[in-house]
A and B are shown apart, each in its own frame.
Chain A
């Protein structure tokens, strides 16, 4: 494992499988009455959020607390950042307070990379989403969810996603989730298809390790998992598509379309969902939809990532058991 987690593209297959396997161990902790490990006791992690994202922030915070880390939450709003302080000064200020890791969410693509590589700070950097670039822990929790559902909780250990057919539908152009997923799923051996109106696919997508289709209906029967991406209503005003209704008709997932998917296939969504836009309530609330599981899995994945980046070489869970037994 590397010192930072900036991009899903930086992970090798073995790194990724190790994270997924470690996350399974972490998930078992959640089944215990006391959901806490002493692994990161005495370590300080700051959640540095320049963009509002309550879900992701809470997920990281839960993961950090379950590993017994000391947690500092820093939200850019109402802070010195709104008074013009630079990313560099903010990060250096936090590091001066003795921070071991920085979990950063930033609106500018590349901000976590800059933080990790510019010599501004020494702390480990975890990218919690940067602009329209990457969101690697989201891709990891998605892969974790797929492996559990499509292969099995125990059967999946040590396995990748070789041969699984994964379809991502929606606003690929503005989606860091799509970029991270394409990179990670490819590394894990899955076959990825992106489905979107041509306006929402980036120029240059031809070099990505995936297929691109403009036709959702023909792709659904060949999918083991279908991930719906959120489409922001503002995109309509920038002429990416004519109306919300037309988008839903052509690219939204409703019950009728879901029925065309193979029986074992699952529906995923990184949240927050826009019900009635890219997904109908019927699909969102069905058993095949893994949205709530993805949230739960997010905590396990983030525990695994932080443990592997900060926890050194000691085994996480067995070590924890010893500690509990004492």
Chain B
């Protein structure tokens, strides 16, 4: 079995220590560990985190391999410091059967860059009418525990209630894409000052907030847990805060882009800023940061949504919604949460690894950096600062809103169960 010694790494941002990997596990953490028989990686003050876990990724395979595949998506994930990603169900065909989720799961294992944990659709074809075979997906080799119609809202209150109840039998969780469909017909961007001026269809905050309010109450009523995808408004934060104070089992995620960007950017009519939920206002951004800091929002999830160039190189209304995010997520979190003093690195690890692994029941991920644990690790050069160059992305798509933006932090190494998937910023 191969050994690797990571020398002088600030584990979770603490004092420099050595970390020895032996085979698939962490053999020891301490100072002055022997390098005998081990390959040495000089961390030189870089920060070592548990491998990141993304609860919200679109890998596009099967069906849209022109924008991303399991291979290119997991390479992008490894580049961004991730060791596990949850693949959303809105593929073609939809991941609403055991067959599809097993295929996606096996592709992830076969490629070996990052564990792929498929998310199953809540309803057949994401149509919101009939429950998909949730139990069969759970019992399949993929062992699905997270279910979501992401991209579409489970808007029928009865279907949502039943889904929340049903998955309790096997410890599952429903991840809701909160978007009241009638309030968002023809919606193109956040409804407010900017949409009024630009003449783009408004996407009101209440369309998100009303669904979240309903769903936390449903979760309370049936005693289930519910997860809120990509929460984007200050009002949503208030509702989740209230629900948690009542003891409702709700968890919530925020995307990196909602922590940094606002709807002012839409004035460029550049569809690279078109995303669902839409970019909101400065006030929302600040509320989301505060909520991520105080724990109201549990985790950061990328909503990595690759799209081919032609789907963004067009007029706003014709463009697809979504941004790639796996390769920039940690940098955006460092920029918005660490450099601002809102989170330290231990708290970043909790929000980008420990908690998402817990919510999705990803065993072996999000574990402490200590002896005996699986060696899923990420080494970050936090002193780095540079402009984002999409040409260097491992993702098949380039639809990033950060092109040319100067951001801090660069993942230099990623280990998946002791195997290096990224070395000195290069994929293995």
Task: Tell me whether B198 and A110 are in contact (CB under 8 A).
Answer: yes
Stretch of A198-206, A243-251, A309-317 with 4 or more beta carbons under 8 angstroms from chain B? A198-206
- Is A134 at the interface (CB under 8 A from chain B)? yes
- Is B269 at the interface (CB under 8 A from chain A)? yes
Q: Which of A110, A133, A176, A204 contacts B192 (CB 8 A)?
A: A204
Task: Tell me whether A109 and B192 are in contact (CB under 8 A).
Answer: no
Which residues does chain A contribute within 8 Å of B194, judged by CB atoms? 204
Q: A320–B270 Cα gap in the complex (Å)?
A: 41
CB distance from B266 to the nearest CB of A (A): 9
Q: A207–B317 Cα gap in the complex (Å)?
A: 24
Q: Which of A87, A88, A107, A109 contacts B198 (CB 8 A)?
A: A109
- The size bracket of the interface on B is 20 to 34
- In order of increasing CB-CB distance, the 7 nearest A-B pairs are A204-B196, A110-B269, A133-B199, A132-B199, A108-B317, A202-B196, A204-B193
- Is B310 at the interface (CB under 8 A from chain A)? yes
Q: A110–B318 Cα gap in the complex (Å)?
A: 11
- Is A321 at the interface (CB under 8 A from chain B)? no
CB distance from A224 to the nearest CB of B (A): 25
Which residues does chain A contribute within 8 Å of B314, judged by CB atoms? 86-88, 114
Which residues does chain B contribute within 8 Å of A18, judged by CB atoms? none
Task: Tell me whether B196 and A131 are in contact (CB under 8 A).
Answer: no
- Is A164 at the interface (CB under 8 A from chain B)? no
Q: Which of B192, B200, B268, B316 contacts A203 (CB 8 A)?
A: B192
Mark each residue of chain B from 364 to 388: 1 if its CB lies under 8 Å from any CB of chain A, else 0: 0000000000000000000000000
Q: Which of A114, A118, A134, A205 contacts B199 (CB 8 A)?
A: A134
Task: Tell me whether A179 and B202 are in contact (CB under 8 A).
Answer: no
Task: Tell me whether B317 and A109 are in contact (CB under 8 A).
Answer: yes
Q: Which of B191, B195, B196, B318 contacts A108 (CB 8 A)?
A: B318
- List which B190-215 residues lie within 8 A (CB) of chain A: 191-200, 202, 204
- Is A106 at the interface (CB under 8 A from chain B)? yes
Q: Which of B191, B192, B200, B269 contacts A114 (CB 8 A)?
A: B269
CB distance from A121 to the nearest CB of B (A): 13
Q: A205–B270 Cα gap in the complex (Å)?
A: 23
Task: Tell me whether A203 and B191 are in contact (CB under 8 A).
Answer: yes
- Is B313 at the interface (CB under 8 A from chain A)? yes
- Is B156 at the interface (CB under 8 A from chain A)? no
Task: Tell me whether A203 and B198 are in contact (CB under 8 A).
Answer: no
Q: A130–B197 Cα gap in the complex (Å)?
A: 13
CB distance from B10 to the nearest CB of A (A): 44
- List which A93-150 residues lie within 8 A (CB) of chain B: 106-111, 113-114, 117-118, 130-134
- Is B315 at the interface (CB under 8 A from chain A)? yes
Q: A110-B315, A114-B269, A114-B316 are in contact. Are A203 and B199 (CB under 8 A)?
A: no
Which residues does chain A contribute within 8 Å of B197, judged by CB atoms? 179, 204, 207-208
Which residues does chain A contribute within 8 Å of B269, judged by CB atoms? 109-110, 113-114, 117
Residue of A nearest to B194 (CB): A204
Which residues does chain B contribute within 8 Å of A202, judged by CB atoms? 195-196, 202
Q: Provide a sorted-by-A list of 22 A–B residue pairs whose CB atoms are within 8 angstroms.
A: A86-B313, A86-B314, A108-B318, A109-B188, A109-B316, A110-B198, A110-B199, A110-B200, A111-B315, A118-B270, A131-B199, A132-B199, A132-B200, A133-B198, A134-B199, A176-B199, A179-B199, A202-B195, A204-B192, A204-B193, A204-B194, A208-B197
Q: A86–B311 Cα gap in the complex (Å)?
A: 10
Q: A132–B310 Cα gap in the complex (Å)?
A: 24
Which of B192, B196, B268, B317 has its CB near the most chain A CB atoms (within 10 A)?
B196
CB distance from B273 to the nearest CB of A (A): 11
Q: A134–B199 Cα gap in the complex (Å)?
A: 8
Residue of A nearest to B202 (CB): A203
Q: A86-B310, A202-B202 are in contact. Are A108 and B315 (CB under 8 A)?
A: yes
Q: A102–B191 Cα gap in the complex (Å)?
A: 31
Which residues does chain B contribute within 8 Å of A110, judged by CB atoms? 198-200, 269, 315-317
Residue of B nearest to A182 (CB): B197
Which residues does chain B contribute within 8 Å of A204, judged by CB atoms? 191-197, 202
Which residues does chain B contribute within 8 Å of A114, judged by CB atoms? 269-270, 314-316
Which residues does chain A contribute within 8 Å of B313, judged by CB atoms? 86, 88, 118
Task: Tell me whether A131 and B191 are in contact (CB under 8 A).
Answer: no
Which residues does chain B contribute within 8 Å of A203, judged by CB atoms? 191-192, 195-196, 202, 204
Task: Tell me whether B315 and A106 are in contact (CB under 8 A).
Answer: yes
Q: Which of B200, B204, B268, B270 contacts A109 (CB 8 A)?
A: B200
Seed contacts A108-B317, A132-B199; 5 additional CB < 8 Å A-B pairs: A86-B314, A88-B313, A108-B316, A109-B199, A204-B191
Q: A133–B195 Cα gap in the complex (Å)?
A: 9
Q: A107–B317 Cα gap in the complex (Å)?
A: 9
Residue of B nearest to A9 (CB): B197
Which residues does chain B contribute within 8 Å of A133, judged by CB atoms? 198-200
Which residues does chain A contribute within 8 Å of B188, judged by CB atoms? 109
Residue of B nearest to A132 (CB): B199
Q: A295–B188 Cα gap in the complex (Å)?
A: 33
CB distance from A4 to the nearest CB of B (A): 13
CB distance from B270 to the nearest CB of A (A): 8
Which residues does chain B contribute within 8 Å of A179, judged by CB atoms? 197, 199
CB distance from B176 to the nearest CB of A (A): 25
CB distance from A15 to the nearest CB of B (A): 19
Mark each residue of chain B from 174 to 199: 1 if its CB lies under 8 Å from any CB of chain A, else 0: 00000000000000100111111111
Which residues does chain A contribute within 8 Å of B268, judged by CB atoms? 117
Q: A108–B254 Cα gap in the complex (Å)?
A: 30
Task: Tell me whether A207 and B196 are in contact (CB under 8 A).
Answer: yes
Which residues does chain B contribute within 8 Å of A107, judged by CB atoms? 317
Residue of A nearest to B193 (CB): A204
Residue of B nearest to A134 (CB): B199
Q: A114–B269 Cα gap in the complex (Å)?
A: 7
CB distance from B406 to the nearest CB of A (A): 23
Which residues does chain A contribute within 8 Å of B317, judged by CB atoms? 107-111, 131
Q: A176–B196 Cα gap in the complex (Å)?
A: 11
CB distance from B200 to the nearest CB of A (A): 5
Mark each residue of chain A from 230 to 249: 1 if its CB lies under 8 Å from any CB of chain B, else 0: 00000000000000000000
Q: A81–B318 Cα gap in the complex (Å)?
A: 13
Which residues does chain B contribute within 8 Å of A205, judged by CB atoms? 196
Mark each residue of chain B from 293 to 336: 1 if its CB lies under 8 Å from any CB of chain A, else 0: 00000000000000000100111111000000000000000000
Residue of A nearest to B188 (CB): A109
CB distance from B131 to the nearest CB of A (A): 32
